[in-house]
Amino acid sequence: MKKFLFSFLLVIFIFSITIFPQDVLKLVPSDSKAVVLINDLEGTYTDLKTVPTMKTLLLEPFNAELMISNLAQMYFNALKIDYESFLSNLNVDLSIFVQEPKENNYIFGFSVGPLENPQTFASDLDKLLEPLKDYGISFTPIYQSIGNQNYLVMIQNKEVYSSSEKGVTDFEEILPTKKGLYYRINTSDYQGEGYFYVKDGFLIGGGNGTAETEFIDKNFVKGAQEYPFLGSIFFTSGFIPKDLTNYADFINIIVDYKIVENLISLSQGVEANVDLTTSNGAMPTISNASNASYLKLKTDAKIDEIIPILNENNIKYKKISENMMEFYIESEITNQNDETEILTNTFYVWKDEYMMVSQIKPDELQKLLNGKPKLSENELFQKLSERVGTGDVTYAFVDLTPIFQNYVPNLKGQYGLLLNVSSMEENKLKIDFILQ
């Protein structure tokens, strides 16, 4: 009995050090507001290339890996860094952490290892991170040993780091596999945790986090059998956060946040259905999406609420009636003679039960949608949803297959992703993600 018990404990011990060898976490401050761990950086990247979509993008036929590698080699040569030597150091675990020494004052750091020569690696990283110094971000190296292995910690504030207790001990609770990316966030604004890893040719992700669930309108989100699918992107959500001030800087890139703030506060649900395939091999974008595409918004806002957004972006428009208007988006195209032309796309906005935006008028759009297959009939959607279901708060499906085949007509296989958001309990949401 004792021999069996000893053998059993030995197996458990070996299993634990095999699955959870994150010595980099021992170097992370215990009070970190956010921690991201990548187990086996090189192995995780290698696994990504077994996922059909990632393999197609990184290897044949799009060869993103080769293009990025060539650019990286030129950049490394300019900095006088040995590219191959640097890559040989990436068979490591990496942890990125965020500290908050003062309220709303965040500083970053990361730990990496094991490394054969952490001093050389730190010198190379310092050259690579040199541009950040223009923004007041600089890192100081600290060299640590755990057992007989060497690790490197790069931190913004050595005094704050040195005075912090080290070690994140409960991360294994969200580690379903040895290789992959895992995160935990614990700030005053958001608390959540999750992971991404590769299994059986799928990139699988999951997690949970806090949210203002009282604003969810579950009645807006229907089953996949209720929606026609136009072929590229489908998104529906009964959750539009009322306070997006934390994302105001990002929104301001597109439009003045103050202009859309009122529209957001009056909205309860959003749906988008887009076809990004093109007939001429052009790069698919929203601007050249099929004119069957549409955006639907459940909102108390009136048509006139759109006008300030159009004015802010210098977009011409014409109001047709109290509940309908049209606006015009201009874009440059290059014709067959390599001459630049201005293409004007007309969009219609109307309001009945929902606010709708499309390049097709209401009756024509409805007629076209009536002839489209349902989302639930899409073979790839069926395959992905069988594994992760569909969210009752939000779900988004992207079928990249026709887009890829637009460039490579003989390309075989299926490519795309499904993301779900479901409610768990009050003020807490669960996220599932799968990519083939």
Which one-letter DSSP state was computed for residue 139?
Answer: -
Question: Domain boundaries in the chain?
Answer: 21-207, 211-302+358-435
Let me know: does 168 contact 399? Beta carbons within 8 Å.
no
Please tell me whether the peptide bond between 114 and the residue prior to it is cis, using omega within 30 degrees of 0.
yes
Measured between alpha carbons, how far is 100 from 103 in angstroms, rounded to an integer?
6
pLDDT higher than 90, residue 253: no
Q: Whole-model pTM?
A: 0.85
pLDDT bracket for residue 8 (50, 70, 90) = very low
Hey, what amino acid is at 189? Answer: D
Tokens encoding 392: 């009752």
Measured between alpha carbons, how far is 399 from 54 in angstroms, rounded to an integer?
14
First to last CA, the chain: 47
pLDDT higher than 70, residue 361: yes
CA distances from 3 to 12, 14, 15, 18, 183 (A): 14, 16, 18, 22, 39
Structure confidence at residue 290 (pLDDT) = 53
Let me know: does 344 contact 328? Beta carbons within 8 Å.
yes
Mean pLDDT is lowest, of 164-173, 240-249, 269-278, 313-322, for 240-249
Mean pLDDT is lowest, of 76-80, 153-157, 282-286, for 282-286
pLDDT bracket for residue 386 (50, 70, 90) = very high
The average pLDDT across 48-58 equals 95
Let me know: does 267 contact 233? Beta carbons within 8 Å.
no
Cα radius of gyration rounded to whole Å, the chain: 25
Structure confidence at residue 7 (pLDDT) = 40
Structure confidence at residue 257 (pLDDT) = 73
Structure confidence at residue 278 (pLDDT) = 56
Percent of the chain's residues with pLDDT above 90: 63
Question: Mean pLDDT for the chain?
Answer: 86
The average pLDDT across 47-63 equals 94
HSE of 106, CA atoms in CB hemisphere, 13 A:
13
Tokens encoding 14: 């070996």
**Residues 108-117 as b or e (16 or more Cβ within 10 Å = b):** bbbbbbbbee
pLDDT higher than 70, residue 74: yes
The average pLDDT across 125-137 equals 92
pLDDT higher than 50, residue 129: yes
Percent of the chain's residues with pLDDT above 70: 88
Structure confidence at residue 240 (pLDDT) = 86
pLDDT higher than 90, residue 417: yes
pLDDT higher than 60, residue 15: no
Choose between 206 and 103: higher pLDDT. Answer: 206
pLDDT bracket for residue 187 (50, 70, 90) = confident
pLDDT higher than 50, residue 286: no
Structure confidence at residue 119 (pLDDT) = 95
Tokens encoding 313: 């972006």
Let me know: does 238 contact 221? Beta carbons within 8 Å.
yes
pLDDT higher than 90, residue 330: no
Nearest Cα residue to 307 out of 263, 268, 372: 263
Measured between alpha carbons, how far is 410 from 355 in angstroms, rounded to an integer?
40
Mean pLDDT is lowest, of 184-193, 284-293, 318-327, for 284-293
